[in-house]
Amino acid sequence: MLSFLNFFVFFLRSFFYLFTLIRKLISFFLNFLFLIILIFIFLLYLENKGFNKSDFGALLLDLNGVILDHVPSESFLTSNNFNQKLFFSQDEIIRKNSLFEIIHSIREAAKDRKIKGMVLKLDHLIDADQPSLRYIGKCLKEFKKAGKPIFSIGENYSQLQYYLSSFADKIYISNYGKIDIHGISNYRMYYKDFLEKLKIKSHIFRAGKYKSAVEPFMRNNMSHESKENHFSCLRKLWKDYLRTVSENRNIKINDVFPEINSMIKKIKSNRGNITKYLMDQKLVDYVIEKTNPEEKFIEKFGLSRDDNQYNRISIYEYKNDSTRRNDKFLGKRNDFPSNIAVIFVQGMISGGNEENYENSSIANSENIVKKIRQAESDPNIRSLILRINSPGGTVSDSEKIRNALKSFRKNKKFVVVSMGGMATSGGYWISTESDRIIADQTTITGSIGVFGVVNTFESSLEDIGIRCDGISTTPLSQGPIEYTGINPYLSEILKISVDHNYEKFLKYVSLSRKKNIQDVRTIANGRIWIGSEAFKVGLIDQLGDFDDAIEAAMKISNIEHPSLEWMFSDTSLMENLIDLFSSNIKNLFISTIILSQKKETLELMRYGYNPYDKYITNFNDCYAICLHCNISYK
């Protein structure tokens, strides 16, 4: 009887404790939700406080961070603005900017009577690819043609920042400031000796002598073929940079970047005064400290009552306002049903088991295929613009996307490929299932080749007294190959697989470009091509930008009034909450432990700029990817 009473008391106490725990959890959740709502209301207040300006004055193009074709969909909670106000200052978080939102805002401002001109302030712009800069530059020219002046102001200018600034009517620089125009290069680390010292064996399988992604594992330097191929592209990119800047500034190319000895001589003649050298070369117009541009801007744009500076509105504020005011956001119209779908393939093409289902560095094949099928099932959609900015990825995932496009076209619908900064290897693989391919003259494309890499550690382990042994029923069922090595049978199968996928790649290109296989082989072999050269050898149909892709889609689909359906992914509230706190905890952790590192290193760590290396040594698939193709001005 006593034991029963004790059990009953224990049961009641346990139930009471459980009830108390549940009650506290519910209370915590409700308090947390209430806090989020308060923060939401407070930030809405900050967002709109002082925003109702009768006269905007200047559009302040204060781009911060990196420019991407597509920024993964984000809610208010996961937006850059929310993060900056709640967790970090503007300098502490790397903003990801949508190229097409920038384009839209500039074009809206060109028509907006409240916008009298533009001020470029690009001190915190970190990176963008060349076609993106050219597209923005085109819109800056349109802005000027609308009769609105552009000014650029900065303490210093990076090579990338100065490219956009060269479109300005006047450029201001700080006394003792500099413009870091230095050229374009392509360097990477090579590990052959390092791997040999650690007794790590790299088993390389590749089809295409120019397929340089595997070279770091098999060489100590860049091969002659790779140097020749990459230098050809770099030289044309550099010429385009110099030509554009010289035309914008109305000076000679040699004034933009003189022969190196001549440059040193000129700097010496100015006693090391870089600012005076820049003025002599007509790369800048005014020194900030001597001319006080603030007074000129106040005269031009009016005086702001908020801070006694010139009237201005940041492009980030203006972007939010212009998208609310204009129902034709980025070609989306309410007066016509959507008839052209836009789908992005940005980053490495990979499968559905990756950590990030959709982010700026992974093009998830399952997500992309799902969007293509949605567009296919929509009776109003007659064309699809596939915007590609990818170095490639796995063969199997590239093939999934290509098959989805093939199904789309079988329904008498059309596919136009618009290439961004690069569409190489697997990026070109999926382009073969299209009706028209359009690329910028500075797009990097091609790299038609396939490879695989397997690193094994059996010798390394043996050297420290660790061995892997066992028994298997066939030569293909041996233990983990990382520890036992690759036997000749498996090696031969992997080689056959790579060669087979390469031949399949050639066949797709042959059918798409209406060339015989032998002609395709001469332009394949893993060789990369810059857009202008890719057009000459027949890998693309037209040189142009996204505007030209829209026109092409209209023409082949016989569409008179285009209405774009931008097929972004939606995320749930719970996903947004998880992303919000996990991303900011990661950023906070990095900021705490690496304070001694240079700012550039911290920025690249946060942004995760080159996430592809970890994939290529996991031979769970053949790879069609170009790891040397991501070239930028910065």
In sequence order, the 6+-apart residues with CB closer than 8 A to the CB of 161 are 122, 123, 125, 154
Tell me which of 425, 434, 510, 557 is the catalytic residue: 425
Cα angle for residues 153, 92, 87 (degrees, 5° grid): 130
3-state secondary structure (DSSP) of residue 219: coil
* Radius of gyration of the chain from its Cα atoms, rounded to whole angstroms: 28
The Cα–Cα gap between 244 and 570 comes to 39
In sequence order, the 6+-apart residues with CB closer than 8 A to the CB of 133 are 67, 160, 163, 164, 633
Q: Of 357, 380, 360, whose CA–CA distance to 369 is shortest?
A: 357
Residue 122 CA: distances (Å) to CA of 56, 137, 238, 565, 572: 20, 14, 21, 31, 34
Report the run of H or E that residue 59 belongs to, with start and end: strand 57-61
Strands (E), 309-381: 312-314, 340-346, 348-350, 362-364
3-state secondary structure (DSSP) of residue 255: helix
Is 425 designated active site?
Answer: yes
Strands (E), 128-237: 150-154, 157-158, 170-173, 179-180, 201-207
Is 269 designated active site?
Answer: no
Q: Could you give phi then psi for residue 306, rounded to 5 degrees?
A: -75, -45
Residue 296 CA: distances (Å) to CA of 110, 172, 303: 21, 12, 11
Tell me which of 116, 121, 148, 211 is the catalytic residue: 211
The Cα–Cα gap between 125 and 371 comes to 31
Please return the burial class of 150, using the count of CB atoms within 10 Å of its CB with bins 0-12, 13-18 and 19+.
buried
In sequence order, the 6+-apart residues with CB closer than 8 A to the CB of 22 are none
- Sign of the torsion formed by the C-alpha atoms of 295, 299, 305 and 311: negative
Catalytic residues: 211, 425
